[in-house]
Chains A and B, each alone.
Chain A
Amino acid sequence: MRLIRIACMIAAFCIISAAAVIVVLPDGARVCAGNVISDARGNDPAPQQTGKSAPPEKEEPAADTSKTLYRVTGVVLVIWTGLAIFLFRLDRKVSKLEKEITNLK
C-alpha cells in the first residue's frame, strides 16, 4: 500500500505543479514570448522554422513576469515541501521498524 501511496504522491506532485504552471504562468509569460507562440499556434506545428524566420525581441524583464515567476516558484516549493515531509517521515518510520526488527532477533 505504501508503494502505491508514494507513486500517487509523485503523480499528484507533478499534476499540481503542472496545473500551477498552466494556471499561473500565462499572464506574465505572454509578455515575453506571446507573439511568437500565437504565431506558431496559428500556422503549422513547426515552431522552429517560424522562430528562425521571426526572432522575438530579447527578454523584457517586466515586473509582471517576475511576480508570476515568484508565485510559481512558491507554489512548486510548497508542493515539494509537502512531498519532502511525507518522504522524511516515511524514512524515519522505516528506520525505526528496521531497528526494532534487528533488536528482536
Chain B
Amino acid sequence: MSLAKKNSAEEGSVLVRDILRNLQKDFRVEFRSRFAVNIAVSFAGIVTISISLTAGGAPFPVKVQSILLWVVLFFSAMNGLAHIFVREEDQGTSLFLRITRSADSIYISKFIFNQIFMMIIGTVVTPLFVFFVGVDVIHVLHFIMSVIAGGFSIAASTTPLAAMAAKAGGKGSLFTIISFPILLPVLWISISSTAGALNEARPESGTVIFLLAFSGFITAISILLFRFIWLEN
C-alpha cells in the first residue's frame, strides 16, 4: 500500500518535472525564433493604430468598441495559438517529442504555454487599445476580469483544436475553420461582457462565470482526449 502511494507520488513529481522541462524547451525555441509573438504583437499594434487613425478621434459606441477589441485580440492570437503544435509538425520534431515525453505532460505544457501567450497578447493589446481608441472604462475590475476570462477560454478551447489541425496536416485555414465555431460563443459572451463593463449599468458576473465554466469543461475533456489525438495510428 505504502509502496503504491510512493509510486504515485513519484509519478506526480515526474509529471511536474516533465511539464516544466517542456515549458522551458518551448520558451527557449520560441525565444530564439520569436515568430509567433512578433507576428501577434505587431498585428495587434498595426490594427489598433489603424483603427484609431481612420476613426480620427471620433468616439465609437460602446458595443463597437468591445467588438473591435475582441476582433483585434482574436485575430492576433489566432496565428500564435496554433503555432505551438504546427511548429512540431513543420520541423518534424513531433516524433522526437512523442518518444521522449508522455502525452499528458505535453498537453499540459502546451496549454500553459498558450495561456501565457494569450496573457502576453492581452496585456499588450488591451492598454494599447484603451489608449488609442479612447475607451472609457467604467467598471475597471469587471473589464479586466472579462478580458482575462475571455482570453483564458480562447486559449483553452483552441489548444486541443490546434493539435487536431496540426495532425491533420495544418492545411491553410483549417485551424481557423474548425476553431471558429467553438470560439464563437466565447467571443459573443466576451463581447457582451466587455460591453457591460463599459456601460453605466451594473454589469452581471454571469458572463465571466460562463466563460470560466466553458473553458474548464473544454480543458477537462481535451486532457482526456489529447492522447488519442497525439498518439495517432
A contacts B directly (C-beta below 8 A) = no
A residues neighboring B (CB under 8 Å): none
B residues neighboring A (CB under 8 Å): none
